[in-house]
Amino acid sequence: MTVINTSLSYPTVSATELIDFRTREKIDQCKAEGREVLLIQGDPSLWEELPQEENVTWCRPFQTHHHLKPNTGLVCFLGMDVFLSGKNFRATEQACHLMADLLCWAAAQPTAVTEPTSATICVQTSNVQHPIFEYLQTGSIYNAFSALLQERQTFRYPPYTRLLHITVWHHNKTTAKEKTNLLHSRLLKAQTGIRIEGPFEPTVWHSLHFAYRLQCTLPKTSKAQAIKNTLAATIKTTPLAPARYRIDVDPG
């Protein structure tokens, strides 16, 4: 596993210059060996504008397993910093799972003299102090996840609280936003005693509609069922049509 510190890059890695010169060297070497390159782009704002290059495949983080092939010689995670800074508090956990799956896949590739060597895994970041990179470079999973749990306890995220996400969407952006704001005000007036944050736009929303989300944080010591009943009654009596909504409960 190679962690490339892009804060030392020249030219600077940016939206127009996505690939660090050290990553480019690895790509060129891999292609010279007749093998394929897989680049994972963690920045959703760039998914529609990825450059095309022979023997180089681009994919989104959660599509990675569909693109791993026996002839893949290099896998590099770009846009990791954007992925980790997403509004989804599970971003670090998801990144750990993705990288662990990649490392397990690479370790299982043939390394015999008659077969290609195992694939190289690398990641670009300008924040090498993030706990996930300590895990990737040292294998110290205990320290990384201890830091992650401490962060969740500090900011009151699961497993120390319960989360409810209420997403409102419509093909008209103004309608979606107005209905979300109406629901937000009704929930605040309901005085449930829980923390309600938002509205904000979901980081990833697989739809042509405009969507806004409210996040409700329930302390573990609260009477969850009573609060859920109050939320359900408030939502039911709020005129959200023609917009639609969905409720997601975090399993933590």
> Are both 89 and 178 inside the same structural domain?
no
Identify the DSSP state of 42. Answer: -
Residues 34 and 57 grouped into a single domain: yes
Taking 70 as the pLDDT cut, the residues of the chain under it are 9-16, 87, 111-117, 203-207, 222, 251-252
Give the C-alpha separation, 100 to 104, whole Å. Answer: 6
Residues 127 and 202 grouped into a single domain: no
Query: 146-189: per-residue pLDDT in tens?
Result: 888 888 888 888 888 888 889 999 999 999 999 999 999 999 99
Say which CATH number the domain at 90 has.
3.40.50
Residue 79: its pLDDT value, please?
87
pTM for the full predicted model: 0.73
Q: For residue 94, give its domain range.
A: 2-155
Q: Where a domain ends, among 91, 121, 155? A: 155
Is the same domain home to 133 and 94? yes
pLDDT at site 115:
54
Amino acid letter, 13? V
247 contact partners, CB below 8 Å, separation of at least 6: 164, 165, 166, 167, 235
Answer with the one of 98, 127, 155 that is the final residue of a domain.
155
Q: What pLDDT, on the 0 to 100 scale, is given for residue 244?
A: 94
Q: 3-state DSSP call for residue 212? A: strand
Cβ partners under 8 Å of residue 128, min gap 6:
3, 5, 7
SS3 165: strand
Q: Given this model, what pLDDT does residue 84 score?
A: 87
Give the Cα separation of 24 and 20 in Å (integer). Answer: 6
The two three-digit tokens of residue 145, written as one number: 């996840």
Please give the angle made by the CA atoms of 18, 68 and 105, to the nearest 5 degrees.
Answer: 105
Distance between CA atoms of 235 and 166, rounded to whole angstroms? 10
Q: Cβ distance 220 to 161 under 8 Å? A: yes
Which of 155, 176, 203 corresponds to the end of one domain? Answer: 155
Query: E strands of 18-129, at which residues?
Result: 36-41, 56-59, 72-78, 120-125
- Per-residue model confidence (pLDDT) at position 217: 86
| The pLDDT of residue 16 | 64
Domains in the chain, number: 2
Q: Are residues 139 and 230 in the same domain?
A: no
The answer to whether residues 78 and 168 belong to one domain is no
